[in-house]
Amino acid sequence: MNCLKISFVLCATLTALLPGQADELVMRDASSWKGKVIEVRPDRILFRKDNESFDREVNVAKVFKIKYDSGTEDIMHTDNAMSGTQNKAAGMECIADGRYVHVSTRPDYSSLPPASHSYSVGDWYDENGVRGVVVGVTPDGKHGKIISPVSNRRGPFEISGDDPMFKGPVDLPLGMNDLTNGYANLQKLLKFRSLHPEFDDSMYPALMYVSRLGEGWYVPAIGELEELCRLLDTKTVYNGSLKSYRGKSVKWIKVINRQLKEHDGDKIGGIYFLSSTEDFSQGGEGGLAHKLFGDPEEPQFVVFKYNDEQKLKQHTVRSFPYPTIAFHLF
């Protein structure tokens, strides 16, 4: 399989430019032209700008996407859009022999300062401006993971529209191939962004969400989501700070959601959760997927399905914004 699939948008329109109609060319240098697309060819676009009576020829390699007045969009993919060197450095290193290769790593807690005291799962963490509910700890309780009280459904943190991880070319891998370490996937995404200045921050909705939470927040890998959902479904005899549950047998999801509520947070809800683990998968089923949504030859992000009856890892192709739970290491 050629994972970096090169394709051209082949369409034509001969409609005359009418008042009030406006297509838009969004260029790779972040500029834009408004007017009317006359014809799209493999190597150039015929375009008539507003207030002009002649057609311009625009090199397809300079165009990121066409936004039509009907509300539809075409993303332009060409061999000239980016160099092969950049592709190798920003995503393609995950491709070996035509297959997308995953890794499994663990966070390096030794690079982090220890917490002021030992924490347990379900505790409220609030140190150095970082706040959240503890969902995992090291044996000494001085390091671990927390989840944010602010979801991606709230106000300025909201991820809206399609393509929550990346709104750029759909055949371009980002290199986020870690199954168990979302923080490592964050570093790979930041590397990709630095090597592709033609895409502004608005092209990375999920990254904007975690960045607004503060430094160090990240979208978890699929393995981290699986661990979290397994925890949520586990009963415990609770002996923490929440008086209403102390001494009772209760599922962790109730404890964690109560902590979130008491600190003005958004409770965990829904069935599907977006991970930062990217994948290519050929055919109807493969690798990490029980069921595949979208084009099996384009980059996808694994979505974890969680409910009381069924726990499946499933794929999605950059589709509608699933609930996103932000993680942070301490």
pLDDT the model gives residue 174: 83
Does residue 222 register a pLDDT over 60?
yes
pLDDT the model gives residue 56: 86
How far are the Cα atoms of 24, 162, 219, 237, 323 from residue 205, in angstroms, in the given order?
22, 9, 11, 39, 13
pLDDT the model gives residue 205: 84
Does residue 63 register a pLDDT over 50?
yes
> Per mean pLDDT, which range of 8-12, 77-81, 90-94, 132-136 is the poorest?
8-12
Arch. (CATH architecture) of 11-75: Roll (2.30)
pLDDT the model gives residue 318: 46
Confidence label for 157 from pLDDT (cuts 50, 70 and 90): low
Q: Give the pLDDT confidence of 277-329 residue by residue, as tens digits.
A: 887 654 333 444 433 344 444 445 555 544 444 444 444 444 445 678 899 99
pLDDT the model gives residue 74: 82
CA-based end-to-end distance of the chain: 40
Each residue of 292-304: b (16+ CB within 10 Å) or e? beeebbbbbbbbb
Residue in the structure block whose two tokens are 């671990």: 144
Q: What is the pTM of this model?
A: 0.66
Number of residues that this document lists for the chain = 330
**Which of the two residues, 153 and 122, has the higher pLDDT score?**
122
Domain boundaries, the chain: 11-75, 109-329
CA distance 280 to 315: 10
Share of the chain above pLDDT 70, in %: 69
Q: DSSP string spanning 81-125?
A: SS-HHHHHHTTGGGEETTEEPPB-----GGGSPPPSS---TT-EE
Q: Give the pLDDT confidence of 161-173 residue by residue, as tens digits.
A: 556 778 777 667 7
**Which of the two residues, 147 and 306, has the higher pLDDT score?**
147
Q: Give the pLDDT confidence of 267-280 residue by residue, as tens digits.
A: 887 767 778 888 76
Average pLDDT, the chain: 76
pLDDT the model gives residue 159: 57
Confidence label for 122 from pLDDT (cuts 50, 70 and 90): very high
Structure tokens at 298: 């384009």
